[in-house]
Chains A and B, each alone.
Chain A
């Protein structure tokens, strides 16, 4: 029996000035399956999906898109939507100030005559929200919802258009474990109801759990397509295809070493948020970190991990510290702004490298030195030769891949951007480094390099606090970890004690875990 393919992309070639982004890609999706598309950053996954959805219109690429047995010539997203194909991007495309129902029907409003039928809109929005098992009032504004909920609203929006082929571009990248599981379950249910899904993801555990077929892209070419029902596909196998080499250790080993004195200690740290009626967002937090130690800070989205980091880092207009003390190397300190925190030996690598970590329109050396220009100033002027030396040193030392340090950071891949962020803070030479989601959205190879770098830093005596939503990563890298839930530390585990089950239990249940 011939297979029933809903989509076949044949010999797709897409070129940008100077780059061949897709080189003769073949991609076949069976009707009603969950098809995962994996590959390192820059492998061409997003480009392929943009070709499919009409972002790159017919004529700008070579090859054929065959959908439901017919060759398609999509000239715009509207064309592909008409064929019931919907794509949900990494960056959510909802309008924060509009309500959920307005967003769901934005662009395909329900009307009678020229007028929008709001009553019908609200009723129908309620129906699609049920389909994604979202129990919220359709009239609340998007900005009041969490990222996970917004993601579900996006899917509801796609369902409201009777989508038959749903493309999800890293849907769980910004979600915590709990929300991710929810979303994956929902995708399974959609499959049951006959929707075909293509999912792009970096999270291999999710992929092996959910995929019917896995296609691996590397350097703009199809490497292989694997049927998960014929054989068991392991993460190691996927990685092998992605990077083109065997990768046995996802987490590089760290030389055993003794930890030093406590370099960072928070006592009774309580914080309120002035923008939310002074609601208490962190309650009596006590944590400490020793020299040479990597301490993980795990918790679900909204547990208050980033808030903890930023409130310590002196980002005060946003956070009000109502009680608590911070000790750096045993000395009590108070940081009134990031500048004083940096002077005090603390550094914070942002979770949102594009949003508030890097200055994308500036080059590598600018970003490398911006947090510590004091070290380069002679008299009034910046010593630019010294700056070049410094930046070249870090580029070589941590292997930032770029033609030169005069390359604009916005043109680098996610992994290299992350390295620039780390280089920026290494140059500050902090005693304590807070890494917030250091490997979000970067590929396996770059992750390994970031982990190796973390090992090097703690071996040199730095203390690292690592915030991450990826449980395996926290377990793999931490010497010790704290679990947070709703602004409270709910548990402390050593590397030996920690298991995924224990951590999740603490993260979900709050303070009542004592086994």
Chain B
């Protein structure tokens, strides 16, 4: 029997080993990725039981997404920073400072010397704060790439600086409360217009003007269905392509099973949300940022270069990649996202306080690592990072529901974090 014929026979034998066998081998090969989902599911089931069902209620799941907002946004940016083997410890206070600046811009306005700006409406404030975030990233990225101060030191210094700036911003008033209506001039007559800032993290997408006999947010369900269709379409397209080039694909039944599973998960959560108030705006914002970053990382040159720099920066440089410029972009993106995270957090609390942002960087870094970013760099996906962020947020949310003391919360989160990374390191070693 020639080698090729033998190989074919073996392959057929493997294929006839049945669907069960294929699923098991698939699980084994991708244990790192699947483990995340298993852990998330286990945590959710645990807290659902522990809270007597409250955890998986529409109201709590809605809250979970709202609470995950700033963590998820920070973790997406942090994933890129960690892939290229840097770190950003300043994101917490950059977020806190940004939120405070936004709050101040909308309420009293800011005066620097003779230059005064504001009060401005929420949209202007958001744009100013995002631009400020980009400038902060430009500063930190420049110090790292042009001067050569390690990111650990640069951003640790940033932590001091932005913490100080946050205290200065809130020095006059302490906590800055953001009203649900805009600040209006003294001679303004009538009802002041709505300030949509607080809606970012507390509002929901509008529903279609159709009356339903039950409490169900129809547009949320429709969006869920569209998401499932888009997901199935992209998976099918990938599979067709792989088949075209004779790459290994899962068998059709397993593929359908996998598709069905993800479809069920998406619909499950969308219906939960629909039974409450519908899709929160913050989830939409996370989704848009996630899609954007996923696209950049997987489909564009810039994304390729990020992975290349993380894998071997010297090889990347000699392949014509401008390593310093890409690194600079990563820091600009990180601080801009930190500003966005600050906006979302401030919006959720409807106020900016002098200690906002403390420890955010820890949640972001933990989310990225739990989501499978390699500790040695070069590997990581923002889609998985989101799962990491959901795990971290679920832990906080669930333990709060069960009224577990904050001291234990930190300890438990720390243990889960170190186990996740240990598991990651071990499975990668085994793969070698």
* B378 interface neighbour in A342, A343, A361, A384, Cβ under 8 Å: A361
Q: Is A394 an interface residue (CB 8 A)?
A: no
Q: B316 contacts which of A313, A370, A382, A385 (Cβ < 8 Å)? A: A370
CB pair A371 B312 closer than 8 Å: no
Cβ of B427 under 8 Å from chain A: no
A350 to B248 CA separation, bound complex (whole angstroms): 32
Most buried by A among B248, B308, B315, B316: B315
Interchain nearest-CB distance for B431 vs A (Å): 9
Q: Of A382, A384, A406, which contacts B241 at CB under 8 A? A: A384
Neighbouring B residues of A385 by C-beta, 8 Å: 241, 244-245
**A357 — which chain B residues lie within 8 A by C-beta?**
315, 318
B315 near A377 with CB under 8 A, answer no
Closest to B296 in A: A380
Tell yes or no: A144 within 8 A of B by CB.
no
Whether A355 sits at the interface, judged by CB under 8 Å, is: yes
Contact of B319 among A355, A371, A381, A406 (CB under 8 A): A371
Nearest-CB distance from B370 to chain A (Å)? 20
B321 within 8 A of A: yes
Answer yes or no: A424 CB below 8 A from chain B CBs. Answer: yes
Pick from B248, B300, B312: contact of A380, CB under 8 Å: B300
- In the assembled complex, the Cα of A358 lies from the Cα of B241 at a distance in Å of 27
| B314 and A355 contact, CB distance less than 8 A | yes
Does A358 lie within 8 Å of B315, measured CB to CB?
Answer: yes
Q: Is B186 an interface residue, CB under 8 A from the partner?
A: no
B278-320 vs A, CB cutoff 8 Å, 1 = contact: the mask equals 0000000000000000010001110010011001101111111
What is the bound-complex CA distance between A337 and B299, given in angstroms? 25
Q: Distance (Å) between the CB of B291 and the closest chain A CB?
A: 13
Cα separation A360 to B311 with both chains bound (whole Å): 7
A345-371: CB near B (< 8 Å → 1, else 0) gives 000101000011111111000100011
| A385→B320 CA distance, assembly (Å) | 23
User: Nearest Cβ in chain A — how far from B83, in angstroms?
Assistant: 11
Q: Which of B247, B312, B322, B379 contacts A406 (CB under 8 A)? A: B247
B299–A359 touching, CB < 8 Å: no
Chain A contact-residue range equals 20 to 34
Task: Tell me how far the C-beta of A380 lies from the nearest C-beta in chain B, rounded to whole angstroms.
Answer: 6
- Asked whether, in the complex, the Cβ of B308 is within 8 Å of the Cβ of A338, the reply is no
Contact A388 B314 (CB under 8 A): no
Nearest-neighbour CB distance to chain A for B416, whole angstroms, equals: 26
B157 CB to closest chain A CB, in angstroms?
24
| A337–B322 touching, CB < 8 Å | yes
Q: How many angstroms from the CA of A258 to the CA of B320 in the assembled complex?
A: 32
Are the CB atoms of B241 and A362 closer together than 8 Å?
no
CA distance A388 to B245 in the complex (A): 8
Q: Is the CB of A359 within 8 A of B321?
A: no
In whole angstroms, how far apart are the Cα atoms of A373 and B299 in the complex?
11
Interface string of A377-418 (1 = CB under 8 A from B): 100111011001000100000000000101000000000000
Nearest residue in B to A369 (C-beta to C-beta)?
Answer: B304
Tally of A-B residue pairs with Cβ under 8 A? 83
Min CB–CB distance A342 → chain B (angstroms): 4
Q: Given A373-B304, A385-B241, A359–B315 Cβ distance below 8 Å?
A: yes
**Once the chains are docked, how many angstroms separate the CA of A371 from the CA of B311?**
15
A286 in the interface (beta carbon within 8 A): no
Q: Which residues of A contact B304 (CB under 8 A)?
A: 366, 370, 373, 382
* Whole-angstrom CA separation of A337 from B304 in the bound complex: 19
Q: Which residue of A lies closest to B377 (CB)?
A: A361
A208 is an interface residue with CB less than 8 A from chain B: no
Q: Contacts of B318 on A, CB cut-off 8 Å?
A: 313, 315, 338, 348, 350, 356-357
Measured between beta carbons, the chain A residues less than 8 angstroms from B245 are: 385, 388, 392
Determine whether A50 belongs to the interface, using a CB cutoff of 8 Å to chain B: no
**Known pairs A373-B304, A392-B245; A356 contacts B312 (CB<8 A):** yes
| B247 near A361: Cβ-Cβ < 8 Å | no
Asked if B319 and A361 sit within 8 Å, CB to CB, the answer is no
A interface footprint on B184-219 (CB within 8 Å = 1, 0 otherwise): 000000000000000000000000000000000000
Residue of B nearest to A376 (CB): B301
A153 smallest CB distance to B (angstroms): 26
Report the separation of the CA atoms of residues A313 and B317 in the bound assembly, to the nearest whole angstrom.
11
Chain B residues closer than 8 Å to A404, beta-carbon distance: 247-248
Collect the chain B residues with CB atoms within 8 Å of residue A362's CB: 307-308, 311, 378
Contact with A along B307-344 (1 / 0, CB 8 A): 11001101111111110000000000000000000000
Contacts of A374 in B (CB 8 A): 301
Chain A positions within 8 Å of B379 at CB level: 361
**Is the pair A370, B319 in contact by a Cβ cutoff of 8 Å?**
yes
Q: Contact at A339–B300, with CB atoms within 8 Å? A: no
**Least distance between A199 CB and chain B CB atoms (Å):** 28
B246, closest chain A residue (CB): A404
Return chain B residues, CB-CB under 8 Å to A356.
312, 314-315, 317-318
B320-A339 in contact (CB<8A): yes
Is there contact, CB below 8 Å, between B308 and A370? yes
A313 to B320: give the CA distance in the assembly, Å: 10
Bound Cα distance from A449 to B380, whole angstroms: 36
Q: Which residue of B lies closest to A357 (CB)?
A: B315
**Inter-subunit contact A358/B299 (CB<8 Å):** no
Bound-state CA distance A404–B300 (Å) is 23
Complexed CA–CA distance, A374 and B305 (Å): 12
Task: Find the A residue at minimum CB distance from B312.
Answer: A359
Measured between C-beta atoms, what is the minimum distance from A381 to chain B in Å? Answer: 4
- A139: min CB distance to chain B, Å: 29
A338 B299 Cβ-Cβ under 8 A: no
Give A161 Cβ to nearest chain B Cβ, in Å: 30
CA distance in complex: A404, B246 (Å):
9
For A124-151 the 0/1 string (1 means CB < 8 A from B) is 0000000000000000000000000000
Residues of A within 8 A of B295 (CB): 381
Bound Cα distance from A8 to B305, whole angstroms: 51
Considering the complex, give the chain A residue whose CB is closest to the CB of B307. Answer: A362
Tell me the minimal C-beta distance from B136 to chain A in angstroms.
Answer: 26
Q: How far is the CB of A46 from chain B (nearest CB, A)?
A: 16
Cα A342 to Cα B316 in complex, Å, equals 13
Complex contact A381–B308 (CB within 8 A): no
Determine how close the nearest CB of chain B comes to the CB of A369; give it in whole angstroms: 8
Query: A343, A374, A384 — which one has the most chain B CB atoms within 10 A of its CB?
Result: A384
A340 to chain B, nearest CB (A): 8
Q: How far is the CA of A194 from the CA of B315 in the complex (A)?
A: 45
Bound CA span A374–B304, Å: 12
| Distance A341 CA – B322 CA, assembled complex (angstroms) | 12
A424 to B316, CA, bound (A): 12
Asked if B241 contacts A338 (CB within 8 A), the reply is: no
Q: Are A377 and B301 in contact (CB under 8 A)?
A: yes
Q: Bits for A454-481, please: 1 = Cβ < 8 Å to B, else 0.
A: 0000000000000000000000000000
Write out the residue numbers on chain A whose beta carbons fall within 8 Å of the beta carbon of B315.
350, 355-359
- Are A359 and B311 closer than 8 Å at their CB atoms? yes
Q: Is the CB of B320 within 8 A of A342?
A: yes
Alpha-carbon distance A382/B314, docked complex (angstroms): 23
Docked Cα-Cα span, A359 to B322, in Å, equals: 16
Q: What A residues does B319 contact at CB under 8 A?
A: 338, 342, 370-371, 424
Known: A366-B304, A382-B301. A338 touches B320 (CB 8 A): yes
Cα of A360 to Cα of B376 in the assembled complex, Å: 13
Using Cβ atoms and an 8 Å threshold, which residues of chain B touch A361?
A: 311, 374, 378-379
- Name the residue of chain A whose CB is nearest to the CB of B248: A404
A114 vs B243: C-alpha distance when bound (angstroms): 66
Extra A-B contacts (5), CB below 8 Å, given A350-B318, A361-B379: A337-B322, A357-B318, A370-B308, A385-B241, A424-B319
12 residue pairs from A and B, CB less than 8 Å apart = A337-B322, A338-B318, A339-B322, A343-B320, A348-B318, A359-B307, A366-B308, A370-B308, A370-B321, A380-B300, A384-B241, A385-B244
5 pairs of A and B residues whose beta carbons are closest in the complex: A356-B314, A359-B311, A339-B320, A381-B299, A371-B319
Chain A residues in contact with chain B, CB under 8 A? Answer: 313, 315, 337-339, 341-343, 348, 350, 355-362, 366, 370-371, 373-374, 377, 380-382, 384-385, 388, 392, 404, 406, 424
On B, residues with C-beta under 8 Å from A are 241, 244-245, 247-248, 295, 299-301, 304, 307-308, 311-312, 314-322, 374, 378-379
